[in-house]
Amino acid sequence: MRINSILCSLFLVLLLGCAASSEVVYDYNLDVDFNQYDTYVLCIEDFTVEHTNYPNLDNDYVRQTIGDAVAVEMENKAHKTNVLEPQLQAGFRIMITEEKANFKSCEHSGDLEFWESCKIHEETYEQETLIVYVADFETNKVLWHASIICELNKSKKKLKPYISELVKELFNTYPKTEIGQNPDEFKEDIQ
């Protein structure tokens, strides 16, 4: 039984180690010149709370904060907001997945040399993923999207800078930059 405890501990350490490192996953249309676009509008539908059963993760404040961060990054990429004649539509999604894990907590009785009790404990884990996208307003086709695993259950004081940093990290993969360098070339320069 001691081996099982050790294996469970190692598994938990590996699981937590994997969860601690999130990387950005992104894709974009290679045939599109992102420098041709100047104007954008935020997708208003993305400000509507979808996951009402997770009020700490998905609420008006979280969505407004994400929307504000997306607007800042679009402006940083030299796009100007224009609700009358937008060329692009920027938006976001919050994905929440839930997994259940069962744990056995067995106590060994030294005097009797058998299992005194064996309780099964079920734990539910929630994982949030933030997805940001930019679509062509006229064709409604997504041109770029990026995602990252995140943790939105934070105090308001900590949430705003956290979301700003996440969205900034996502937009580091956006193909339009001040000098017109795409994110794949930027990665090569760093290495």
Dig out the tokens for 67 from the structure: 């929307």
Is there a domain that residue 80 lies in?
Answer: yes
DSSP secondary structure letters along 95-146: EEEEEEEEEEEEEEETTTTEEEEEEEEEEEEEEEEEEEEEEETTT--EEEEE
Q: Which domain holds residue 155?
A: 24-180
Q: Could you give the number of structural domains in the chain?
A: 1
Task: Please give the model's pTM, rounded to 2 decimal places.
Answer: 0.72
pLDDT reported for residue 165: 97
Domain membership of residue 60 (yes or no) is yes
Residue 118: is it exposed, middle or buried by C-beta count within 10 angstroms (0-12/13-18/19+)?
A: exposed
In a domain, 5, yes or no: no
Dist. CA 160–CA 70, nearest whole Å: 12
**pLDDT computed for residue 99 by the predictor:** 73
Sign of CA dihedral 57, 68, 49, 93: negative
Which CATH number covers residue 32?
A: 3.30.160
Residue 16 lies in a domain: no
What is the token pair recorded at 47? 């400000």
Tell me the pLDDT of the chain (191 aa) as tens digits. Answer: 444 444 344 344 334 433 445 799 999 999 999 999 999 999 999 999 999 999 999 999 999 999 999 999 999 999 999 999 999 999 999 999 877 766 655 555 555 555 555 556 666 677 899 999 999 999 999 999 999 999 999 999 999 999 999 999 999 999 986 544 444 554 555 55
41 domain residue, yes or no: yes
Residue 113's pLDDT is 54
